[in-house]
Every structure is written in structure tokens, then in C-alpha cells.
Amino acid sequence: MGIISQLWCCMAGPRLYRIYGRTQDQVEVEVYSPNALEKMGNKVIQGLYVMYNVGLYTAPIIVLSLYRWETFSHHSAVKLGTSLGLLLAVALVFRGVGRQLNPTYTNFLDVLATFDKAKKPTEQSLEILRRFDSDFSAWPSTFEWSDLQADDNKPRLYVDRELSRRELGIVSRALRLPCEVIAYFLVHLIGRPLVYPGSVQLLQFAVGDFVLNGREQLVRNKGGKRNKIIARDGNAIDTMFIDRRKDSQTPHGKTLVVCCEGNAGFYEIGIAATPLEAGYSVLGWNHPGFGGSTGAPFPSQERNAVDAVMQFAIHGLGFKEEEILIYGWSIGGYTSTWAAMNYPQIAGLILDATFDDVLPLALLRMPEFLGSLVRVAITRYLNLNPGHQLAKYPGPVTIIRRTRDEIITTDDTQLRCNRANNLMLMLMESRYPQLITTQSTEVLLHWLSEDPAFQGSIMSEWNVDSDLCSSLLASYTTQHGESYPMTIGEDMNDDEKTRLLLYLASKYLVDFNSTHNNPLDPHLFRKPWRPLTDSYVQVD
């Protein structure tokens, strides 16, 4: 019975990839080498896995083809299913026997067996487990939402949106329910994979080696530590922490950067490289359904995930809220603005290549006749609205606009169509409402539409005096503090409001001459400006 139990553990156990050996000065890496039996089993299982996923996404075509194939009967389908099932069973046995004969793998299983699911693992025991890089499913959780240390009673803010029938393009109330039913299937079959392609298993399979090598580099060269945290909804979130607090060679090691990746990004090969190169401590995490994280990247699960990550950073890693920077790239602007809105004492928020609302971008990329369905699908199931959440965050912000961005724009030949402009306008309207007039808004949009090389001429045309604007802000914040919305500008004329609004926009906006997917230059990654000091935030 013991042999059968061990064989079953080897058959169903997680796949092993790397073995790390830590020395005093460096981390040595050994690639795990499965024997011939395990290799054979893995190849067959991988092949069946690919067939399953291809079949899943092409099911309608396959069903239609089989229906028209007169020689294919129910009996044939049963025979095919049975054959594939037997092939899978044989492959699992081969893999189990191969692993059972491999002392490295059985040693890994012995380490896993020492963890008691009812108890939290100690850091010492986790260090032993971290010697092995494997599928994340069998790892114990390091931090759970239900932990007593977690701030379970902290009220959460939400900014939801419900469009009217007219806005949805639905004239009749009777059509609303059918549209919602169709939209539900549209989102789950097509919409979610299009909005979050990184959640598609075939894509993860295709980039698996790059992800694995990226994780190795973080562990080997940066001293990264992998942790599993459990969110409020039960999803397991795969995270990587690089601690620079004790490194005297890094200028910002005491500040933690929480990285929120894009729709096809993984912490292993994503945006974490920029703050790491700039000298910060970093906490990367994968969206639900990405990499080792479970679940699916729908808004509620995304919010629960980043909330658990922030709780882990504060209660699990020991960072104060004001020692945390949040960095969101592309669609990561949704989770980063939600986290900033709910943790307003953070050191700052950096939004890179981020949009204000996903709906205009979705409408542009879908056929016009599906407009009503797209509106229903987005507002009901994929309501990603970073702009509305940013308007609720009162802290320091930097908006990085990529001037050749081809993704978050409704026309990649026109800088004025970059949705980062809309994000900037929403920020200005929420923070400085007294400065918003017809004239100042038109001039601001004109300034945003110009190439950065010509923005200075607009500032000169309007006689924007940086020293005067800085003095006005310093005088106001000295009297009223740095709280939003500010009432500054209520006694100014339109020209004065326009000049001050242009000055403020130039402080919040950083232009980066790049397309959407290029890594951000580390010299552009800096703590956001704040009016109180007229300088960039310093918390180290």
C-alpha cells in the first residue's frame, strides 16, 4: 500500500524544473533532469494538454465538422475518448515510475510532505522548499487573507458604473436581458481571452520557458523569494519578493515597489526589471489565472488579488504603507489605481501606458454592429475604469505617456487620441476643479496633443512662469494643506487658471518616446511630484 501511495504521489505531484543551491556569495542552479520514463510521460501529457486547449477554443468548428462527417458515429466518439483516456493513464504511470526512481524528485516530495496544511510554514522551512522550482499548485501558502494580522475590517472603496439603455445602445427594455445573456457567453468565450491574453493556457505554454528562465534570474541574481498568498475569494496568488532593505548599494532599497503587470505580463518577465535597476525593493505578482496564480482575471478577482498583495506587503513583509510605491503598466492601471484608492497613504502611484477606461478601446476593436453587446459585456463583466479610481486617490501621481503607443489609443497616428490624455484630464478635473474652464480645458488638450518637442512653445505662448506657479501652490498648501479637491484658482481669471493648469500638467505627465511594450527607462522611474514640496517625494 505504501508503494502504491508513493507511486500515486509521483504521478500526480507537481513538475520540478530547477534546484537552487545557495552558497555564501551566490546561488547555484541545477536544471532538473527527468529520466527517460518521466520524459516520455511528460511528452504525452503535454501533447494531450495542447490538444485539449486547442479543442476547447475550436470546439464549435470541431463539432460542426464531426456533424458533417457521416462516418463518425457516437460509437467512434466513445472509442476515441477511451483511447485518449487510456493513453493519459499510461503516461501518468510512466511519469510516476520515472519519478519514483529519481532520488532528486523523491527528495522534493519528502520536503513537500513536511508541510502541515493546517499550520503556517516557517521562513526556515520555506527556504528549504525554495531550493526547488516547481509547479506552484502544491506549495503551502505563506500569507492568507484570513490571517489575524490582515486588516479584514478595513473598508474598501469601489467605483462601479451602470450605463443607461440609451448609452448601451438598447432602445427596448425587453432587449436588455437577451443582450446580457449573449454578453455573458461573449465575455467568457471571447472577451476575457482578448482582454487578458496572458490567461490563455496555450499562450502560457508557448512562453513557459521564458517565464521559467525569468524566474530563475530573479532568484539567482536578485535573491528573489517566491510566496503564495491566498486572497479573500480563495485564489492563490503567485508572488516574488526582492528585498533590498539591507543592501547599502541600492539608493531606494527601503521603498517597496508593488508591480501590477499588463494583460499579457508575468512578474518573471515583466515590468519589475525597471524598479529593480533603479534600486528599489520589489514585490511582483501574477494576475489570477496567470502563471502560478489561480482563478480568472475578472475585476472582482483582480481587486481581491491586489488587496491581498498589499496586505502581504504591510503585514507579511513589514513595510509601512507610506514606504510603498505602486507601479501599474497598461491594464495593470486598473489594479494599481484600485489599490491606491484604498491605500491612500502610499508613497505614490506611477501609471505607465495606462488608459482611463477600457470601453472606448474595446468598441474600436470590435465590429460596429456588436456595439451594444460590447457595452453590456464591458460594463457588466469587464468594467476596467482606472480613470474613475484615480480620481478617488489623493496622493502623489506620475502618468507616463508613451508617445508612440499603438495599444491604448483610438488612432495611433495622432497623439491626441492616446487615452493617457483622458486619464490626465480626469486627474486635473478631480484635483483642481476651480482651474477647469472651457478655455483652460481646450488649451490643456492642445498641449497634450502636441509632440513634447513643441509643448514648450505652448507654455511660452501662455507665459507660464514656473517660479510663480510654484509659489502659488506653496502658499496655498501652507494655508490649506495638500488635500483634494483643491480650491486654488477660485479667485483667478481664465488666463491665470490656464497657466496654472498647464504647469500642473507638466509636473504630473512624463512623456516617453516609445511604443507600448518596450521596457521603461529606469531614469524615468522616480517618485512622483507633489505640490507641498514642489519636488519629487523622498521617503528613504
SS (H, E, C) 72-131: CCHHHHHHHHHHHHHHHHHHHHHHHHHHHCCHHHHHHHHHHHCCCCCCCCCHHHHHHHCC
> Strand 236-242 to strand 252-260: parallel, antiparallel, or no bridges (unpaired)?
unpaired
The confidence score (pLDDT) of residue 56 equals 72
Which residue among the candidates 405, 430, 511, 514 is catalytic per the annotation? Answer: 405
CATH of domain 141-395: 3.40.50
Position 306, amino acid: V
Phi, psi of 516 (to 5 degrees): -70, -40
The confidence score (pLDDT) of residue 155 equals 82
> Strand 509-512 to strand 397-402: parallel, antiparallel, or no bridges (unpaired)?
parallel
> What are 257's strand-pairing partners?
282, 325
Whether the link from the prior residue into 522 is cis, omega within 30° of 0, is no
Rounded distance, CA 197 to CA 200, Å? Answer: 5
**Does residue 330 carry a catalytic annotation?**
yes
The confidence score (pLDDT) of residue 173 equals 67
The confidence score (pLDDT) of residue 141 equals 94
Cβ atoms of 420 and 406 closer than 8 Å: no
Which residue among the candidates 199, 281, 330, 514 is catalytic per the annotation? Answer: 330
User: Under 8 Å CB-to-CB from 405, ≥6 apart: which residues?
Assistant: 353, 412, 418, 420, 514, 515, 516
Rounded distance, CA 404 to CA 353, Å? Answer: 10
Rounded distance, CA 6 to CA 361, Å? Answer: 52
DSSP assignments along 258-294, one per residue:
EEE--TT--GGGSTTHHHHHTTEEEEEEPPTTSTT--
Query: Cell numbers at residue 79, please?
Result: 472509442
Which residue among the candidates 83, 480, 494, 535 is catalytic per the annotation? Answer: 480
Which residue bears the cell 498647464?
A: 502
Cβ atoms of 161 and 383 closer than 8 Å: yes
The ranges assigned to domains in the chain are 2-133, 141-395
Helix (H) or strand (E) holding 133: strand 132-134
Rounded distance, CA 236 to CA 89, Å? Answer: 28
* DSSP 3-state of 420: helix
Rounded distance, CA 339 to CA 361, Å? Answer: 23
**Does residue 352 carry a catalytic annotation?**
no
Cβ atoms of 258 and 309 closer than 8 Å: yes
**Does residue 495 carry a catalytic annotation?**
no
Q: What is the mean pLDDT of each run of 10 residues along the chain (540 residues)?
A: 72 93 78 94 91 76 62 70 92 94 94 83 92 93 77 79 68 73 89 95 93 96 96 96 91 95 97 96 98 97 97 95 98 98 97 97 91 90 96 97 96 95 98 97 97 94 95 91 92 97 97 97 93 54
Cβ atoms of 51 and 44 closer than 8 Å: no
Q: Please report, in angstroms and rounded to a whole number, the separation of the first and last CA atoms in the chain.
A: 59
The confidence score (pLDDT) of residue 262 equals 97
Cβ atoms of 421 and 372 closer than 8 Å: no
